[in-house]
Structure 1
Amino acid sequence: MSVELNKTLFNSRLKLIKDAWNNASDSEEYGSIADVGAFLVMAGDPAGEDDPIRKGTAFQQIKGGDNPIAIEIIPQAGAKEPSNDAIPRFVQAYISHSRVGSLLKETHTGKLVKEWEALLAAANSRPELVEISPAMSSFMAVKDDEELKIVRTAANLTSTLLANYIATKLETILDKEAKISHEDFSAQIEARLGSGEGDDAKGPDMKVWNKNPKLKDVDWGSTELCYSPIIQSKSTASGYDLKSTAESSPDMIAHSGVFLISTGIRYKGYCANMGRTIIVAPTKEQEEIYTLLLGLQADLITNIKDGAQIRAIYQHALSYIKDKKPTLEKHFVKNVGFGMGLEFRDSAYLLSSKNNRQLKAHMILNLSLGFADLVDDAGKKVGAENATILTEGVKSVKDTLFFEANDEEELKSSKPKKPPVKPLTNGHSASPVKNKTVAGKVLRTKTRSAAQEEVLMTTAAKIREHQIELHAALQAD
């Protein structure tokens, strides 16, 4: 298969690197490459299926794709051809520099890597190696129009899966009080992208994906999960764990309490991620905390913009909590998200109090808010080891809080009275939300009119506007 270089895209990305390199001595962001004479970015054999993508591999996208495109050709001998001087010549070019920038924390394997290391070990001299990971993150942080288009598709895929399968399936589980384990539910979610091999192979579940017209031109061969969907409930034996490395346990899903759901889809290499916390029969305090975080989310998004300093964003969030509910300040998470793209989580753009980097337009961020070490009504500490995140990208409590009916007898009446549930609207007035009742629980169901009201609300409108501009629509309507 022939590989064609996208010259326009390649030149624009190469110019970004060249300009940063030439002016690196005047930039804290690119200071790590100021005095290097060359870059050595290795790829080696592909990473394992469950391993995160390496930054060196991700950097290959700078060419407009992950296929090798040579600028200067140093032909290597084929498998059945006699050895040539390709790698020795490359070693000589490498050791001719006094300082070379590389990704020192990455390890690579493969035949070519072994041959390279053997020749390098026999060399009379070696250049000083400089860690350039921070600069690499900066190279890849700002996305061009083509990348943003891909991320929007990844986001649409992720939100469609959550809204049109995961949420409805969980509702059915609660309704029927079905016995199903967390890991089995996760496997069912995973199968929406296809399952099986050979004659038993099944393609994507188009009954789910066709519900979003924006997905009609998706290349399903370039679509995969970032990680196995994570489903957790109060019956998870190991407790709640919000890391993307967490696994859905074999324990049966509980039918009440707090449910944590995380899923992410990678499209053409680029990641999108979503999380939901669903609470059945929340306490008043849980409602208040949830509403507080939703208000913070809307407030933060208006402050996440071109030129904003990351540490200032975190401090703003902390001040918001201190002003609204000072007793929760000490429980607030140590970071409020991270940068993402080809890498699921780029720690160089961790949204914490210690990060001095500035944000730029067209960066992709995963915003995540919550509290740690909270104590529930039973006196049990929740999240002692891991942050208890109550909301990740949620627009309204109406989507995530399920309320138990106060009187089951009223529900059986021929003219049932609506339970006195006060709609929560983040401080804004709105019409009452229509409810439906399943298994004695009143589930908040968003009608067309209710959805329109949310869009018209100031808070939701701000979220939508800034997500499109700054987060590449990481959460589609």
Structure 2
Amino acid sequence: MFRREKRSDGGDDDPNLRPLPSYSLLYSPPLVDWHHHLRSPSSVADLKFLSRIAAETLRRSKPLRYHIFCTDQIVCSQIIDLENFSKRLEAFYTHWGKHKSDLWSSSDAVAIATPPTSEDLRYLKSSALNIWLLGYEFPETIMVFMNKQIHFLCSQKKASLLETIKKSAHEAVGADLIIHVKAKHDDGTALMEEIIRAICVQSKSDSPTIGYITKEAPEGRLLETWSEKLGNSSLQLTDVTNGFSDLFAVKDVSEVTCIKKAAYLTSSVMKNFVVPKLERVIDEEKKVSHSSLMDDTEKAILDPSRVKVKLKAENVDICYPPIFQSGGQFDLRPSASSNDEDLYYDSTSVIVCAIGSRYNSYCSNVARTFLIDATASQSKAYEVLLKAHDASVSALKPGNTVAAAYQAALAVVQKEAPELLPNLTKSAGTGIGLEFRESGLSLNSKNDRLLKAGMVFNVCLGFQNLQAQTNNPKTEKYSLLLADTVIVSEKPPEVLTAGCSKSVKDVAYSFNEEEEEEPPRVRSDLNSTGVLPSKATLRSDNQEMSKEELRKQHQAELARQKNEETARRLAGGGSAGAEGRGQVKTSSELIAYKNANDMPFSKELAIQVDQKNEAILLPIYGSMVPFHVSTVKSVTSHQDNRTCTIRIIFNVPGTPFTPHDANSLKFPGATYLKEITFRSKDPRHSSEVVQLIKTLRRHVASRESERAERATLVTQEKLQVSGNRMKLIKLADLWIRPSFGGRGRKLTGTLESHVNGFRYATSRPDERVDIMFANIKHAFFQPAEREMITLLHFHLHNHIMVGNKKTKDVQFYVEVMDVVQTLGGGRRSALDPDEIEEEQRERERKNRINMEFQNFVNKVHDLWAQPQFKGLDLEFDMPLRELGFHGVPHKSSAFIVPTSSCLVELIETPFLVVTLSEIEIVNLERVGFGQKNFDMAIVFKDFKRDVLRIDSIPSSSVDGIKEWLDTTDLKYYESRLNLNWRPILKTITEDPEKFIEDGGWEFLNMEASDSDSENTEESDQGYEPSDVEPLSASDDEGNDSESLVESDEDEEDSEDSEEEKGKTWEELEREASNADREKGDESDSEDEKRRRKVKALGKSRIPDRRDPKGAHPKRPKFK
């Protein structure tokens, strides 16, 4: 539908990520009046409509590598993230001032010129600065940073976008942003001279030092003119590349998130597309060229849905064309290319594959080497490379030098295979981010820069030009390469591409297993299914089975560790993390009046309610007797004709379900009034009295309950309000769960971050909640994807009060779209402009809210990174939706999602937050063939806690849950039935020694019990006739059982034996009665007689079931 055309204006009028040339329409769908929209784009709705149709058409067409320009007919809707811009501009100026003399070459100003766009893949620091600072690449734009001014020279449309950041620039660094708009056919000379004069004025020098990026040669008329102006001026030019390298080295939270998404896409393409593709090609012996594999893999990266990755295609790109190499021609540089030769996969061949993808311009990389029928020397070389690569990754710790990574790899090779040292690559990789190779962060032996948390590296290590012992020219030379994307953190380094395995078992393929020479040994020529292999097969044909075996081995090790840990904990006299159960609390002494004089005076002997003293006064024998309202258990009224009856029942000692009262202990011999009834002829007064008593009783009970709950609260530190000491971090218009309650309309509030905690408050003075940082156990940020709300959730160490509710979970959320839908209006077409505009507004609102929450989270992360909060180990965790599953944790079905440290469900109430470190074991119940769903029982290390059950999980999720549990080092078991866990845990805690002696948790191991039963069955089935006469199966049946073991000779002697055994029912019953009479046991129940009758009948029918040869039938098996 679209044709690519060349632009005549140089393509500099619109900012975007890697712009493309514009497109013109060649064909119009018949249902759309394209001429109307193209001829008179007079309204915003029309323009959005055209933009939507164009974007949808491009999305359905062949995936393109680059993003798209906004043409002149379509309004450019890009916006700059002002908070991100302010934060990073401030970071840039701070870094410049701090390292001005060493990294920024004492420059008075920094001038960055971005060249025109190019369809070639290239990485420029000028473009990286654009994206890092502004969020987009601004081609053919000159930026000059000075102490008090920032100058931009660009086209009109870029200028209109930059106008929005003037205020933010001044607030962030106190600099005025000045924009110089270049006319379309102007070379900008006058504007450049104006900028140079401003540099001299600002620096108060005739020859100030100006920093620029030396390695970026000027391209295009504008940049060439600028370069010529700088060269002919009195300015002193100096290189500031090192300054930008150090500035970009440490990534913030949003940058790390982009890199993680890029790495997830990269590893998914390798795991779910490249590896299956190679296996299929090799197994079917197809001829496929390297370049063809490259093209197919590039399409998979550009269309994430092909590998089941939920990323938008317009946000992803490739880092470089995917590299496939085999057949003796290897180049381990990222600049290598895939040739047109066919993939070579004969014996002893090696296949090297490297792919890199970008998300929002942030790069990631992974490389793997696949071995086909590897020789011993090839296998050894790969194992050494694997160890060296792991050592290099482990050395990436804050405080180490960058050179430590390469030195660690060097030490492993020196120890394991010193003969391979000359073949080792000269570095172990480079830093990675907006640039695929960040200068100054090369992992070589000479780089003495210190590693910092937040740095990201492409750890790439290999052996090149190794010699194989073969005469085949395509396999005599080979290379090995491994690469992963790794984040440096305070914890062990995080390998982002670990989802794509590089273990020997998963990359080594055996193509000619039947030709392998093995020492003579006794073995079966059949495989497990009893079928001879028909052709050469791949070792990884059983890849799923091998993963299952690895998981079983890991689970077996976890079982051993878990049993040892449980034994140590039980031997210590308790379970870790035990919070204990709440003890019964006694109420305080109930006093309505201290003396009789305090009682209110009453002229009439009628029931009265004293709300001030929380008492009821009852007329008894002519006197008003007071009772505290807490002693009332219930009050009811009943009307019969004209008479009303009021019945009051009191709490008395000894009554079931009555709370313990201190008064019963103080007066053990007292007599208590249990019930009293009054009659009245005034129904209005009766109902009024009953209502007052109930209302007062409810109020007092609620207050006492709240007071009891508050008494159990742990005292929290007081919130230190930030005031003017720090810039306030806040998020407005939030709802809270649980709500404050009370009467009146619910109000939204504002969440503010202060010195040592958060404060949420509405416009009502009594609606306020303080959450201390020290009390936060887990913090979660869940943006709206398929849900209607974006939320922040805090799971606390100790309970706090929200209103009058005691809770450990507090959530703040915003509804991103209206849940209510108008039913009265007619159904509108999908192409209705109003419908499209409404959808666009909803998307913009959702994206805006998600961005606001993300900015708040980023700022709080920066606050938590300060030294005083290091010990709290606080960070916002995000649910991993791709690992989620449906289940019923409470009463209704919900989507339960794991995070890095928890299992959560944060949408439905009550919330579910399970800390993984507190889990002892997980038992998957009702797992078996034919079951549509199963249950999960989570047993905590604190055996006093009730076992958490998540019911009705679809059986399709069982494999994913097992994989997740195994990767998080949680031991799981499977059972076919639901277990009653309360007596099981009680037995364990009462006799822990016996529990350990009996194998610990292995009583849950269904596979072990199955294998035992299978061994028993196999021994029964393995019986073969022998010369020795078998013995009877049991001694209980006496001589009757001899009929089951007869020789063939007895059968041939006579046919009378058949008739003898075929006794009638009456004869069998008579014999049984006589036998019982002799034993003196004639009092058998009818069930016992019926059991013996069936047993005898079974014996009498056995000969009839034999086969013609007289063989005994198989024994029935019971499972």
TM-score scaled by structure 2? 0.35
1:101 is matched with which residue: 170, 187, 211?
Answer: 211
Kept in 2, the 8 Å contact 1:277–1:391? The answer is: yes
Q: Distance in 2 between matches of 1:283 and 1:82?
A: 64
2:713 alignment partner in structure 1: none
Relative to structure 1, is the Cα distance of residues 451 and 363 closer, same or farther in structure 2, using a 3 angstrom cutoff? farther
The reply on whether 1:50 has 2:157 as its aligned counterpart is no
Kept in 2, the 8 Å contact 1:300–1:313? The answer is: yes
2:267 is matched with which residue: 159, 162, 165?
Answer: 159
Q: CA deviation at 1:317?
A: 1.9
Q: CA deviation at 1:225?
A: 1.4
Relative to structure 1, is the Cα distance of residues 62 and 438 closer, same or farther in structure 2, using a 3 angstrom cutoff? farther
The reply on whether 1:276 has 2:376 as its aligned counterpart is no
The reply on whether 1:247 has 2:340 as its aligned counterpart is no
Kept in 2, the 8 Å contact 1:32–1:130? The answer is: no
2:80 alignment partner in structure 1: 5
Q: CA deviation at 1:343?
A: 0.7
Relative to structure 1, is the Cα distance of residues 312 and 409 closer, same or farther in structure 2, using a 3 angstrom cutoff? closer
The reply on whether 1:209 has 2:280 as its aligned counterpart is no
1:402 is matched with which residue: 509, 513, 517?
Answer: 509
Q: Distance in 2 between matches of 1:384 and 1:357?
A: 40
- Report the secondary structure of 1:126's partner residue: coil
1:445 alignment partner in structure 2: 543
Relative to structure 1, is the Cα distance of residues 441 and 83 closer, same or farther in structure 2, using a 3 angstrom cutoff? closer
- Report the secondary structure of 1:250's partner residue: coil
Relative to structure 1, is the Cα distance of residues 395 and 440 closer, same or farther in structure 2, using a 3 angstrom cutoff? closer
Q: Distance in 2 between matches of 1:148 and 1:51?
A: 22
Relative to structure 1, is the Cα distance of residues 454 and 392 closer, same or farther in structure 2, using a 3 angstrom cutoff? farther
Q: Distance in 2 between matches of 1:81 and 1:327?
A: 63
Q: Distance in 2 between matches of 1:253 and 1:83?
A: 53
Relative to structure 1, is the Cα distance of residues 390 and 61 closer, same or farther in structure 2, using a 3 angstrom cutoff? closer
Relative to structure 1, is the Cα distance of residues 193 and 379 closer, same or farther in structure 2, using a 3 angstrom cutoff? closer
Relative to structure 1, is the Cα distance of residues 309 and 437 closer, same or farther in structure 2, using a 3 angstrom cutoff? farther
Kept in 2, the 8 Å contact 1:338–1:350? The answer is: yes
1:178 is matched with which residue: 254, 274, 286?
Answer: 286
Q: Distance in 2 between matches of 1:342 and 1:171?
A: 33
Kept in 1, the 8 Å contact 2:432–2:458? The answer is: yes
Kept in 1, the 8 Å contact 2:208–2:235? The answer is: yes
Q: Distance in 2 between matches of 1:328 and 1:82?
A: 57
Relative to structure 1, is the Cα distance of residues 409 and 83 closer, same or farther in structure 2, using a 3 angstrom cutoff? closer
1:31 is matched with which residue: 102, 126, 132?
Answer: 102
Rg comparison, structure with higher value: 2
- The one-letter code matched in structure 1 to 2:340 is P
Deviations 1:439-460 (A, max 9, x none): 43322614453454687799xx
Q: Distance in 2 between matches of 1:94 and 1:269?
A: 32
- The one-letter code matched in structure 2 to 1:100 is I
1:366 is matched with which residue: 458, 461, 466?
Answer: 458
- Report the secondary structure of 2:333's partner residue: coil
Kept in 1, the 8 Å contact 2:263–2:357? The answer is: yes
Q: Distance in 2 between matches of 1:271 and 1:286?
A: 31
Query: Tell me, which stretches of 5 or more residues in structure 1 are unaligned?
Result: 195-203, 419-435, 459-472
Which deviates more, 319-328 or 159-168? 319-328
Query: How many percent of aligned residue pairs carry the same amino acid?
Result: 27
1:316 alignment partner in structure 2: 408
Kept in 2, the 8 Å contact 1:76–1:87? The answer is: no
1:297 alignment partner in structure 2: 389
Q: Distance in 2 between matches of 1:174 and 1:344?
A: 32
Q: CA deviation at 1:77?
A: 4.1
Kept in 1, the 8 Å contact 2:370–2:508? The answer is: yes
1:427 alignment partner in structure 2: none
Q: Distance in 2 between matches of 1:56 and 1:169?
A: 38
- The one-letter code matched in structure 2 to 1:35 is S
Q: CA deviation at 1:22?
A: 2.1
- The one-letter code matched in structure 2 to 1:113 is L
RMSD: 3.5
- The one-letter code matched in structure 1 to 2:115 is G
Which of the two has greater strand per residue? 2
- The one-letter code matched in structure 1 to 2:192 is I
Structure 1 segment 40-119 matched on structure 2, within 5 A: 40-46=111-117, 48-66=118-136, 69=162, 71=166, 72-79=177-184, 85-94=190-199, 98-117=208-227, 119=229
Q: Distance in 2 between matches of 1:76 and 1:243?
A: 42
1:169 is matched with which residue: 268, 277, 282?
Answer: 277
Q: CA deviation at 1:6?
A: 2.5
1:126 alignment partner in structure 2: 234
- Report the secondary structure of 1:100's partner residue: strand
**Whose RCO is larger (CA < 8 A, sep 6+)?**
1
- The one-letter code matched in structure 1 to 2:84 is L
- The one-letter code matched in structure 1 to 2:543 is T
The reply on whether 1:286 has 2:378 as its aligned counterpart is yes
Relative to structure 1, is the Cα distance of residues 108 and 66 closer, same or farther in structure 2, using a 3 angstrom cutoff? farther
Q: CA deviation at 1:39?
A: 0.5
Which deviates more, 82-91 or 293-302? 82-91
Deviations 1:366-412 (A, max 9, x none): 11122234221138999999x933433454111101123432699xx
Query: Tell me, which stretches of 5 or more residues in structure 2 are unaligned?
Result: 1-75, 139-161, 167-176, 201-205, 485-500, 518-523, 559-899, 901-963, 968-1119
Q: Distance in 2 between matches of 1:298 and 1:53?
A: 28
Q: Distance in 2 between matches of 1:313 and 1:438?
A: 45
- The one-letter code matched in structure 2 to 1:449 is E
Deviations 1:14-37 (A, max 9, x none): 232222222226xxxx71315110
Q: CA deviation at 1:113?
A: 1.9
The reply on whether 1:141 has 2:249 as its aligned counterpart is yes
Kept in 2, the 8 Å contact 1:150–1:270? The answer is: yes
2:97 alignment partner in structure 1: 22
Relative to structure 1, is the Cα distance of residues 354 and 78 closer, same or farther in structure 2, using a 3 angstrom cutoff? same
Structure 1 segment 397-476 matched on structure 2, within 5 A: 397-407=504-514, 415-416=526-527, 439-443=536-540, 445-447=543-545, 448-450=547-549, 452=551
Which deviates more, 319-328 or 273-282? 319-328
Q: Distance in 2 between matches of 1:34 and 1:119?
A: 21
Q: CA deviation at 1:161?
A: 1.0
2:1052 alignment partner in structure 1: none
Q: Distance in 1 between matches of 2:77 and 2:282?
A: 52
Q: Distance in 2 between matches of 1:161 and 1:87?
A: 47
- Report the secondary structure of 1:32's partner residue: coil
Q: Distance in 2 between matches of 1:138 and 1:62?
A: 13
Deviations 1:276-327 (A, max 9, x none): 1001001112112212222222233222111210122222221222122223
Kept in 2, the 8 Å contact 1:104–1:131? The answer is: yes
Aligned length: 417
Q: CA deviation at 1:357?
A: 1.2
- Report the secondary structure of 2:180's partner residue: coil
- The one-letter code matched in structure 2 to 1:17 is F
- The one-letter code matched in structure 1 to 2:124 is R
Relative to structure 1, is the Cα distance of residues 32 and 437 closer, same or farther in structure 2, using a 3 angstrom cutoff? farther
Q: Distance in 2 between matches of 1:438 and 1:171?
A: 15
Which deviates more, 248-257 or 137-146? 248-257
Relative to structure 1, is the Cα distance of residues 39 and 83 closer, same or farther in structure 2, using a 3 angstrom cutoff? closer
Deviations 1:221-275 (A, max 9, x none): 12111122111111x6xx1112222221111211221001111111111111111
- Report the secondary structure of 1:74's partner residue: strand
- Report the secondary structure of 2:363's partner residue: strand
2:521 alignment partner in structure 1: none
